[in-house]
């Protein structure tokens, strides 16, 4: 159990924002954009793919165990303990913000979303802004289930509107701008720094950047430039190919134009998840 917890915590990235700007600038970005301004150093905590399941949805029986063991090694048997330890660690380290890049829940069950939101409230109440976006497992799931012994029962999932309501305190209600076509939004973390939380997991085009959302992103980057603000982006699916085995279905569909747009507007970096490995691509 301790080793499993260590593996999970190694996926939590806490980095000074200016280190991000220096280390992960997209090729071709004019570094003067970051050098000409002075900033108060910020620390961000980023985590992804929690795959949290509410305790009442599983008895740890044969059906649930078989499903987990045939998956990709998620430490689901210790989900509750790991999540509680994670909340404790974040509140103890007191970063300037926590960014969660999707797949918040194991199978998109409404009960799991509600239980996780209650846990995240402890972080928010400690004065640490929490910013979330959904992943491919979080919305309109036909796999949302409760597990008992050798069987399972389907339970309610959530749609986009319910997701934004449940996680309203974690980015959505305080957003500087929201996209009408997705659950994307912009959050002003501090004077001079905006966080672009990009959602490409719509019911109409799962995993793909739609034209409407692309236009919205361009408008937001233009507005940030006019205000003289820097932008850090986050998404669930990756912007670049991190491994040739994780390309189709893992990289944002129609995402090449987004990369060009990020380069044009000098976006600092893009934090993502989905592939369940730690890697930096440039």
**Residue 150 and residue 201 in one domain:** no
**Residue 141 and residue 187 in one domain:** no
Among 174, 197, 231, residue at a domain's last position:
174
Tens of pLDDT, residue by residue over 127-162, are 999 999 999 889 999 999 999 999 999 999 999 999
Domain assignment present for residue 82? The answer is yes
Domain assignment present for residue 227? The answer is yes
**Residue 162 and residue 91 in one domain:** yes
State residue 109's pLDDT score. 97
Beta bridge partners of 190: 193
Q: Positive or negative, the Cα torsion across 205, 209, 214, 220? A: positive
Is residue 195 within 8 A of residue 214, CB to CB? The reply is no
Among 145, 174, 203, residue at a domain's last position:
174
Cα separation, 268 vs 194, in Å, equals 10
Residues of the chain with pLDDT under 70: 1-39, 72-74, 207, 240-250, 253, 274-282
Domain limits for position 85: 43-174
**Residue 180 and residue 152 in one domain:** no
Which of these, 25, 21, 15, 42, lies nearest to 190 by C-alpha position?
42
Domain assignment present for residue 18? The answer is no
List all residues 6 or more positions away from 202 whose beta carbon is below 8 Å from its beta carbon: 160, 181, 182, 210, 213
**Residue 135 and residue 213 in one domain:** no
Identify the CATH number of the domain in which residue 154 sits: 3.60.21.10
Tens of pLDDT, residue by residue over 156-188, are 999 999 999 999 999 999 999 999 999 999 999
The number of C-alpha atoms within 13 Å of 161 and in the hemisphere containing its C-beta is 0
Domain assignment present for residue 180? The answer is yes
**Residue 194 and residue 159 in one domain:** no
State residue 76's pLDDT score. 82
Domain assignment present for residue 17? The answer is no
List all residues 6 or more positions away from 229 whose beta carbon is below 8 Å from its beta carbon: 188, 192, 193, 194
**Residue 258 and residue 186 in one domain:** yes
How many domains, the chain?
2
State residue 204's pLDDT score. 84
- 3-class secondary-structure state, position 130: strand
Domain assignment present for residue 266? The answer is yes
**Residue 154 and residue 209 in one domain:** no
Domain assignment present for residue 12? The answer is no
Domain assignment present for residue 29? The answer is no
DSSP strands (E only) in the chain: 13-16, 43-47, 97-101, 130-133, 145-148, 151-154, 177-178, 185-190, 193-198, 230-235, 270-271
Among 174, 204, 235, residue at a domain's last position:
174
**Residue 133 and residue 52 in one domain:** yes
């Amino acid at each position: 159990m301790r080793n499993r917890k260590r593996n999970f915590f190694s996926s939590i990235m806490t980095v000074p924002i200016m280190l991000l700007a220096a280390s992960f600038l997209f090729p071709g970005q004019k570094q003067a954009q970051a050098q000409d301004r002075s900033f108060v150093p910020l620390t961000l905590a980023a985590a992804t793919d929690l795959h949290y399941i509410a305790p009442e949805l599983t008895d740890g029986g044969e059906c649930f165990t078989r499903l987990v063991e045939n998956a990709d090694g998620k430490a689901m048997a210790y989900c509750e303990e790991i999540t509680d330890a994670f909340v404790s660690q974040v509140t103890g380290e007191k970063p300037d913000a926590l960014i969660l890049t999707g797949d918040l829940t194991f199978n998109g069950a409404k009960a799991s979303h509600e239980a996780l939101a209650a846990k995240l409230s402890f972080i928010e109440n400690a004065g640490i802004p929490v910013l979330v976006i959904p992943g491919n497992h979080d919305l309109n799931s036909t796999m949302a289930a409760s597990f008992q012994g050798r069987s399972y029962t389907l339970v309610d999932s959530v749609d986009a509107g319910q997701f934004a309501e449940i996680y309203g305190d974690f980015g959505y209600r305080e957003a500087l701008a929201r996209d009408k076509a997705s659950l994307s939004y912009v959050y002003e973390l501090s004077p001079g720094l905006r966080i672009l939380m990009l959602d490409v997991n719509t019911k109409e085009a799962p995993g793909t950047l739609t034209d409407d959302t692309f236009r919205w992103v361009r408008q937001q980057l233009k507005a940030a430039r006019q205000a003289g603000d820097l932008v850090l982006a986050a998404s669930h699916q990756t912007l670049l190919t991190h491994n040739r085995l994780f390309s189709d279905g893992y990289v944002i569909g129609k995402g090449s134009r987004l990369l060009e747009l990020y380069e044009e507007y000098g976006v600092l970096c893009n934090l993502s998840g989905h592939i369940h490995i730690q890697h930096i691509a440039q």
